[in-house]
Chains A and B, each alone.
Chain A
Amino acid sequence: MQTKRTIFPNKLLPYALLAPQLAVTLIFFIWPAAQAVKSSFEREDPFGFRTTFIWFENYTRLFSEPGYLNSLTKTAIFAVSVTLLSISLSLLLAVAVNRVLKSNRAYTTLLVWPYAVAPVVVGILWWFMFNPTIGIAPYMLRGLGIDWNHRVDGNQAMILVVIAASWKQISYNFLFFVAGLQSVPQSLNEAAAIDGAGPFKRFWTIVFPLLSPTTFFLLIVNINYAMFDTFGLIDATTNGGPNQATNILVYKVYADGFLGLNIGSSAAQSVVLMLIVIALTAIQFRYIERRVQY
Chain B
Amino acid sequence: MVENRPWLSLLTHLVLIVGVVVVVFPVYLAFIASTHGSGDFMRGLVPLLPGPHMLENYGRMLTQGISTAGAPPVSIMLMNSTIIAIVIAVGKIAISLLSAYAIVFFKFPFRLLAFWTIFITLMLPVEVRIIPTFAVVANLGLLNSYVGLTLPLIASATATFLFRQFFLTVPDELMEAARVDGAGPMKFFRDILLPLSRTNIAALFVILFIYGWVQYLWPLLVTTDSRYYTVVMGIKRLAATADSEPLWNLVMASVILAMLPPVLVVIFMQRLFVKGLVDTEK
Complex contacts, A113 vs chain B, CB 8 Å: 263, 266-267
B-contact 0/1 string along A198-215, CB 8 Å cutoff: 010010000000000000
- What chain B residues lie within 8 Å of A267 (beta carbons)? 131-132
Tell yes or no: A185 within 8 A of B by CB. no
Q: How far is the CA of A278 from the CA of B129 in the complex (A)?
A: 13
Are B124 and A29 interface neighbours, CB within 8 A? Answer: yes
Interface size for chain B: under 10, 10 to 19, 20 to 34, or 35 or more residues? 35 or more
Chain A's nearest CB lies how many Å from the CB of B82?
14
* Residue contact A39 to B132, C-beta cutoff 8 Å: yes
B176: min CB distance to chain A, Å: 6
Closest residue on chain B to residue A97 by CB atoms: B16
Given contacts A13-B185, A22-B114, A231-B216, contact A167 B130 (CB under 8 A): no
Cα A31 to Cα B155 with chains together (Å)? 14
CA distance A125 to B33 in the complex (A): 11
Per-residue interface assignment for chain A, residues 119 to 150, with 1 indicating a CB less than 8 Å from any chain B CB and 0 otherwise? 11100111111000111100100000000000
**B242 within 8 Å of A (CB atoms):** no
Q: Which residues of B contact A236 (CB under 8 A)?
A: 236, 239
Question: Is A257's CB under 8 angstroms from B131's CB?
Answer: yes
B105 → A minimal CB distance (Å): 6
Q: Is the CB of A18 within 8 A of B114?
A: yes
Q: Please measure, in the bound complex, the distance between the C-alpha atom of A13 and the C-alpha atom of B185, giving whole angstroms.
A: 9
Residues of A within 8 A of B2 (CB): 189-190, 193, 199, 202
Contacts of A127 in B (CB 8 A): 239
The answer to whether A167 and B114 touch across the interface, beta carbons within 8 angstroms, is no
Report the stretch among A2-10, A61-69, A76-84, A153-161 that lies at the interface.
Answer: A2-10
B255 touches A125 (CB 8 A): yes
On whether the beta carbons of A28 and B133 are closer than 8 Å, the reply is yes
Is B146's CB within 8 Å of the partner chain A? no
Measured between beta carbons, the chain A residues less than 8 angstroms from B186 are: 13
Q: Is the CB of A100 within 8 A of B16?
A: yes
Q: How far is the CA of A120 from the CA of B94 in the complex (A)?
A: 29
A245 proximal to B (CB < 8 A)? no
Per DSSP, are chain B's interface residues mostly helix, strand or loop, or mixed?
Answer: helix
Evaluate contact between B136 and A6: CB separation under 8 angstroms.
no
Q: How far is the CB of A288 from chain B (nearest CB, A)?
A: 7
A258 and B131 contact, CB distance less than 8 A: yes
Segment from B50-58, B72-80, B95-103, B196-204 that makes contact with A:
B95-103
| B129–A250 CB distance below 8 A | no
Instruction: Evaluate contact between B216 and A232: CB separation under 8 angstroms.
Output: yes
Given A6-B179, A121-B235, CB of A273 within 8 Å of CB of B99: no
Q: Is B241 an interface residue (CB 8 A)?
A: no
In the complex, are the beta carbons of A175 and B122 less than 8 A apart? no
Give the Cβ gap from A226 to chain B, nearest Cβ, in Å.
Answer: 12
- Nearest CB in chain A to that of B213: its residue: A118
Apart from A99-B1, A117-B259, 9 more pairs, CB < 8 Å: A22-B114, A24-B155, A25-B117, A25-B120, A175-B278, A231-B216, A235-B216, A263-B131, A277-B123
B-side residues, CB < 8 A to A, are 1-3, 5, 8-9, 12-13, 15-16, 19-20, 22-24, 26-27, 29-30, 33, 41, 44-46, 48, 94-96, 98-99, 101-108, 111-112, 114-115, 117-118, 120-125, 127-133, 135-137, 151-152, 154-156, 160, 168, 172, 175-176, 179, 185-186, 188, 210, 213-217, 221, 232-233, 235-236, 239, 245, 248, 251-252, 255, 258-259, 262-263, 265-267, 270, 273-274, 277-278, 281-282
The 8 lowest CB-CB distance pairs between A and B, nearest first, are A32-B132, A118-B214, A116-B262, A35-B132, A17-B102, A232-B216, A14-B106, A28-B152
Return 16 A-B CB contacts under 8 Å, by A number.
A1-B115, A15-B102, A21-B96, A21-B98, A21-B118, A29-B120, A32-B132, A35-B132, A93-B16, A116-B262, A117-B259, A118-B258, A176-B278, A258-B221, A263-B131, A281-B123
